[in-house]
Structure 1
Amino acid sequence: MKLKQLNLWLRLTFLVFVALMLTLSFSYFQINKQLIHNSREKQEQDLLKIGHLLSKNPIIVNSLEEQTSNASLLETTHHAEEAFNLDFVVVMTMDKIRLSHPDHEKIYKQFQGGDEKKAIKYGVESVSTASGTLGESLRGFVPVFNNHKKEIGVISIGLTTNKLSEHLNKMRKSFSISLFISLAVSIIASIFTAYTIKKQMHDLEPNEIAVLLEERNAMFENVHDSIIVTDSNNKITLANNSGKLLLKKLAHTDSPYFHTIDSLIPNLQSHTQIPDYRSNSDELLHQNGVDYLISTAPIVVRKKNVGKIFIIRDMTELISLHDQLQNTTTYATSLQAQSHDFLNKLHVIYGLTDLKAYDQLTKYLEKILEPEQEFSSRMVYLVKNPLIAGFLIGERSRFVEKQLPFMVEIYPDIPATTIQDSVQIWISMIKYIHSHILKINGSADTQVRVGYLQYHLETSYSFLIDGLETEKLKKQLNSNYLKNALLQSNSTIHYEKRSEWFILNIKTPYETTKENK
């Protein structure tokens, strides 16, 4: 019985040994091949990265614009060669004249190799192997552009093939030693542990478990939305990268683990209570001026609730796009209504004039010039930016619903712009301010002026307000949300209290289109 067991053990050992030898030999060949490919690819990427870094160096750019070599240029290229272990860094003009070279006698001479044509002729980066004055080498070519986006030269960075071969041999040698050591250890370890480990892993192979784990981690970490996992006591046990950034933003902590989620994110208590482990919930949360959609779901193991998962999405951009679409639709509707209504008004005016019914004409003109009637017309004619015009028209509707007047003076006229980022931030700031103005008791007399002056969009508010409401408004104007918006748009805000009037002024940089300059 023992002999049979020993023979079986030997046969299994022999089969495992042969399989490992074949597998490792094939793997060694493939890995060695892949190693060479990856090393070459990494060297190419590194050369291009270094080239991009050097192409922005002001010394190199100035030398190429002047088409002269100087000590600063040679010192810069020499430092780059030493810092990145390069064989050469050659700066050449569009005529292929070298301005730098490890051999100073080669300066002001034609570049050799012929593989620089893509960078010079088409202005694109390239990597190739060619022979030059230093012998055969791996060379990267990166075009250099001036401030006017015009190509003024090319940087060639390279390593000789001898240095690359030495590097590969070192890597191959260390890899071969590790391979043979792994082979010996694998033969011994696989015989004694394979059966036991496989049973403990529920007949799953280690690579299968690794793939499942990597897939899970990849999906978890690369999801754009913030994902936070808590245990049954609402303590955070896991968070992806977006979730950590969100918690750092809201709670100002780099170590969110083992803290309860409702202690880090205020106003979240209602989301942490799930009475039924089968229930999910989706709710909106407004925090620091940002709207979040929170999807909460329980984590159930064997019909027992062991925790919760929170998926938090930033809805600010989506809501902003929705508001922009709504404002643009309002603007387009106003334009359509005016185009249909304009000729009708002209006919009525012409008829009343022809009939010499001047009293009726006066009443008719007063009617069509009432603020409620002519507000949209003024926005269309005085504001050339559809986003701003549509926004102001939409905001008027908000104030009318609260039975508050909202008359806007546009002076000077607001021209159009092709850069809408600052406009969108401006809209967010004004909407934020309006939301707090609407909450103020006794803010019926509100005067608003918007205009384009000295390359800025100036927005001024004047309204009656008492002392208590003044302090509340000042607190809101000092919020982090408004400070971040002002910082992103390079805007400035100034406010003061004059008797019972509160004066608020916002200046936002506003770049107009070429037609308006």
Structure 2
Amino acid sequence: MGPLLRGAAWPRSLAGQAIALQVLVIALIVVAGSALAVVDARRDGDAAAEQQVLGIASALADSPSTASAIESGRATEVLQPVTEAVRMHTDIAFITIMAPDRTRFTHTDPDQIGGDYLGTIEPALRGSTFTEVYTGTLGPSIRAVAPVRDSSGNIIGVVSAGILQQSLADRWRAQWPVIAAIGVAALAVSLVGVWAIRRRLFRQTHGLRPDELRVMYEHHDAILHSVSEGLIVLDGSGVALVNDEARRLLALPSGEVDRSDLPEFLRTYNPGARDEIHVTDDRVLVVNRSPVHGSAGTNGDGSEVVTIRDRTELQGALGELNSLKILTDSLRSQAHEAANKLHTIVTMVEMGRAEDAVEFATAELALSQRLVDRLSSTVGEPALVALLLGKTAQAAERGIELTVTEDTRLPANSDDLLLTGQEMVTVLGNLIDNAMEACDRSDPWVEVTVTQDDGDLLIRVADSGDGMDARTFAKAMRRGYSTKSSGDADQHGLGLALVAQVVNRHHGRLTTDVTYGSVVTVTVPGP
């Protein structure tokens, strides 16, 4: 078969090729089964005929009347009617009773009586009953031969009964239509089933050819391993697919992944989610979820595709940028305030009140300088000093009294700190921001304490607000929480979650209570 003919006659889709092969196999099985049924019917017919003639010959040979008729010399007269009656009743070809010298006493054709029997009788003369296929006067036949004994056990005759093979052939040929009808019915039922399978297979493979499916799989596999985003496919039975990046971002085990191995936010069916931010123990992740069209059920057990982006480093950079922005804004505000004070001092000098101008200029400067000097001497981390100074200026602008307690003290060598400078900025910066947002507007104050004594690091931020209950606080640590409006919550709702991430990374504790105010405490144990 040439390529052109083969391409034109052979189906191209996977469903078509699979069904064509099934049709060929089914047709071959039905034809072979029918042929075997015919052969088996013929073999069974021959075996049944052999047993039939063997039983008839043995029954007549063992009958006492047969031996008596032979011994009386009236064998033909007595036995011919009997054998013909038995032959007509059993529908066999012939029953021949003969003398040991082959002389026939009975025969289907009366003209053959008295003639010699054609066939084998020697085993019967030796006392054995046997069957054979032999061509006699009526044609090829299956015959049985049995000896006739007198009362003394001597062989005085032989009985032969046979069925023509032509009759047997007519019998099993009569079964052909039934076998053919059964074969055609089986083929028809099989083709209906194959057609139903073809429809289902065609729908599931979208009519694609095997080579197209192979290329699709290769591309699919290559994309899964090359994309820089985490990719997870969820279906009703669990996790259908996880790529390498998703395993890395979610710290999933190798091999098969169960739904229980996923973080809590991925264990429920939630298609349509866009740019959701979730915080794990060590990462900030952006999650998008999309349903697989046509697979979602009404009970929410359909398939969905989940993509995951890592935002950990970006979130840290945003935190640092926010701190720098706060410091910049504070410096700008202070520069503006300094300009106003400078104009005041110049005016007082022009008015001849130089001593009052000096006192005015140095009073607030001394207060600010004392704070700078105290923090510089007690806090060895420059980033934390800058953060506290910037937050103090920011609080002053907003009319909030921010106090850094006298207990604040950290090792002079920043290498001895239990948290890095960036982690300190993340933890303390977010706690102060949350405190300034939550404090009571009628009496706004925030108090900050940072100490590292006896090997443990303690960070305590208190404010004049009402605080959060245990359930709300737990939610804030897990998913992010904000008292702001929904528009700002997306930007500021990760504060406590990021703090909890740093604390968990160092096996610390994050607690809250309401005593002299709303107090949030971070404790990081030393090595």
- TM interval, shorter chain, is 0.3 to 0.5
TM-score (norm 1): 0.40
TM-score of the superposition, structure 2-length normalised?
Answer: 0.39
Relative contact order: is structure 1 or structure 2 higher (C-alpha 8 Å, sep ≥ 6)? 2
Higher-Rg member (1/2) = 2
